[in-house]
Amino acid sequence: MTRASLLAGGHQPDPAALAEIRARYHLDDPFPVQYWHWLSGLLSGDPGTSMVLKEPVTALIGARIGNTVLLVAYAGLLILLLGVTAGVVAAVGGRRVDQALTVITTVLMAAPAFVAAILLIWLFATTLSWFPVYGSGTGFTDRIHHLTLPALALSGGYLAYVSRITRTEVRAELAADHVAAARVRGLPRWTVLRRHVLRNAAPPIVAVSGVTVAGLFAATAVAEQAFGVAGLGSLLVQSAARQDMVVVQALSLLLVTVFVLVNMLVDVLNAVLDPRLARAGAV
Amino acid sequence: MLQFDDLRLRVGGTPILRGVTLEVAAGEAVGLVGESGSGKSMTVKSVVRLLPPGSRTEGAVRFDGVDVSSLDAAGLRRMRSRDVAMVFQDPRAVVNPVRTIGDFLTEVLRDQGVGRTEATRRAARALSEVGIGDAVRRLHQRPYELSGGLLQRVVIAAALLTGPRLILADEPTTALDVTTQEEVVAILNEQRAARQVALMFITHDLELAAAVCDRIAVMYAGEIVEVLPAAALHAGARHPYTRALLNSRPGAVAPGERLRTVPGVPQSALTAPPGCVFADRCPHAEARCREVRPVFDGSAACHLLEAR
């Protein structure tokens, strides 16, 4: 199969259509020229037009990016709030609490997002009818209402992961000499926890959470597809199924860019939290 | 002011202290010397109940007549914050690495209700008192920007800042450069003496203990075997263990000669014999030394001395 027939969708198109495709995508040009066409288009804000939907990629992304950003923000918030809180509670709350949370996080980590999605739909959408089962909603509150189940399905495993990391880091700080010294100086329990334990455990937790939240943009594929949310993740899955290369290419680039940017942000934040890092040349 | 009354400590069933009796008067400096594992550190830490999990104590440590084990959480916190301060071995480990020197110095004062400006002013003054110049700049620095000696002075400044009546110093110079050790101890002693603060000073260095302290308590295998005035360390040492320790100092032999040691290996409190703890290594041990535990008579615990 030639590249042109691949771009035509895998059918056996007539020679005229194939020639038209070859001309439109500059397939007869040498590789560097083809690359230049793509790159100059991208840099001037035009990553191309969908081969299947015949719409500009920017329009496709623009219509969906709001939902995805909202979903990622929602899931990210759940991960940070619940994950970090659960981790801290597990670290300081005694053996019973720790064991209970270990069981919960193990289950969450073991359940993939699509299984969580099916369970959530069955429980909250079908049985209890608390949340809608499908769609993206309109207006802010309606969208939040629609995105609750997808956000829960999306955050489950990551939440458990962040909680485990938090627990380990907080435990390690609790055992540190400077924490014992702070206690011996008669500081209240809560002050010691906040200023000496959590403050010092923060950099690794921020690093892990940052990478996790950055990865959520790609992970939305499953949750959005399962709940019929029109977002970038479902667009990526559908485009890949339709062999809509221009869209897949643009989306991949976007996801990678977001990942790199969020990671950079986390590194900068970590240097602020722990000035030793900036001095060691880690940033 | 501070009394150890037959203090016994077990950690998870393992005996660490086997009956420590000692008094520290207000303003007095007492040195605790002895080999590693003799229980010096645990003795001192039991004052502020900084004990490992699974610890069980018998006997009592009394501060101002109050048994510290009877203090509730608030009472313990008040004692730790106002009455007793601690200086540790390694300043790098005990000062929070990500916060500033100013945070470290002022946080206890702030917790006690002192205003920010006033706390900062006092912190700056405390730094200059321990010989750290450019105090305002130092307050904004972080531990990694200071040398070990400088950081230990910061810890000493923090200890003095809350106006304690007792400072517990657990080998405060072990982690430091040899050249800064004397300086740091001199500052600690000078400042605490000027304020009439009592000191419990743990060290391996007998000369240092004698120079800094009023009295010296020698510990071995979880007990105090001898207490003597620092001035009489050389002439007045009576217990065979103290004399053996004195003999094994580098200064005890002529330069070039082989250093003397205490024969045998240190006795652990765990396997302490029914008789005298030092009997196995004592050059003068007699039969009853191995059978009957000698009673500490206020200055030493040794059968051989009773006979005289």
Q: Rounded to whole angstroms, how far apart are CA atoms A217 and B200?
A: 59
Q: Rounded to whole angstroms, how far apart are CA atoms B209 and B215?
A: 9
Pairing of strands B14-24, B2-11: antiparallel
What is the pLDDT at residue A31?
86
Do the domain assignments include residue B296? yes
Under the banding of pLDDT at 50, 70 and 90, the label for residue A4 is low
Q: 3-state class of B60 per DSSP?
A: strand
Which pair of structure tokens corresponds to residue B51?
């004990």
Option in B48, B85, B95 nearest A178 (CB): B95
Which pair of structure tokens corresponds to residue B228?
């003597």
* Chain A positions in Cβ-Cβ contact with residue B85 (cut-off 8 Å): 185
Do the domain assignments include residue B235? yes
Option in B50, B81, B162 nearest A180 (CB): B50
Domains and CATH numbers, chain A: 65-279 (1.10.3720.10)
Do the domain assignments include residue B258? yes
Helical pair A140-174 and A84-92, crossing angle rounded to 10 deg: 30
User: Model's pTM, two decimal places?
Assistant: 0.80
Closest residue on chain B to A200 (Cα): B98
Which pair of structure tokens corresponds to residue B137?
């700049």
Q: Rounded to whole angstroms, how far apart are CA atoms A226 and A133?
A: 9
A215 to A25, A149, A201, B136: CA distances (angstroms): 31, 19, 22, 44
Option in A183, A200, A279 nearest B96 (CB): A200
Residue A283 reports pLDDT greater than 60: no
* Chain A positions in Cβ-Cβ contact with residue B144 (cut-off 8 Å): 276, 279
* Structural domain range at position B231: 2-98+142-307
B77-B127-B110 Cα angle (round to 5): 35
Distance from the first to the final alpha carbon of chain A:
47
Residue A138's Cβ-count burial label (10 Å; 0-12, 13-18, 19+) is exposed
Partner B contacted by A164 (CB < 8 A): no
Do the domain assignments include residue B293? yes
Residue type, A103: V
Do the domain assignments include residue B104? no
CATH of the domain at B166: 3.40.50.300
* Chain A positions in Cβ-Cβ contact with residue B96 (cut-off 8 Å): 178, 182, 195-196, 199-200
Partner B contacted by A194 (CB < 8 A): no
Partner B contacted by A172 (CB < 8 A): no
C-alpha distance from A140 to closest chain B C-alpha (Å) = 40
C-alpha distance from A178 to closest chain B C-alpha (Å) = 4
* Chain B positions in Cβ-Cβ contact with residue A196 (cut-off 8 Å): 96
- Number of folded domains that form chain B: 1
Option in B50, B88, B98 nearest A274 (CB): B98
Do the domain assignments include residue B250? yes
Do the domain assignments include residue B119? no
* Chain B positions in Cβ-Cβ contact with residue A186 (cut-off 8 Å): 76-82, 108, 111
Residue B187's Cβ-count burial label (10 Å; 0-12, 13-18, 19+) is buried
Under the banding of pLDDT at 50, 70 and 90, the label for residue A1 is very low
Residue A146 reports pLDDT greater than 90: no
Residue A11 reports pLDDT greater than 70: no
- Residues A250-279 have pLDDT tens digits of 899 988 998 899 889 988 988 888 877 776
Which pair of structure tokens corresponds to residue A166?
């938090």
- Residues A73-120 have pLDDT tens digits of 999 999 999 999 999 999 998 889 999 999 999 988 888 877 888 888
Pairing of strands B29-33, B55-63: unpaired
Option in B80, B93, B144 nearest A185 (CB): B80
Looking up tokens 């730094």 gives B127
Tens-binned pLDDT, residue by residue, of chain B (308 aa):
898 988 989 888 888 888 888 999 999 999 999 888 888 999 999 999 988 888 888 889 999 989 998 999 999 999 999 999 999 988 999 999 989 999 999 999 999 889 999 999 999 999 999 988 888 899 999 999 998 889 999 999 999 998 999 999 998 888 788 888 888 888 898 899 899 999 999 988 888 888 889 999 999 888 888 898 988 888 888 888 888 888 877 777 777 777 777 777 777 777 777 778 887 788 777 777 877 888 787 788 888 776 54
Closest residue on chain B to A199 (Cα): B98
What is the pLDDT at residue B109?
92
Length of chain B as a residue count:
308
Whether B116 contacts B110, CB under 8 Å: yes
Cβ–Cβ gap A180/B99 under 8 Å = no
Cβ–Cβ gap B96/A188 under 8 Å = no
Do the domain assignments include residue B283? yes
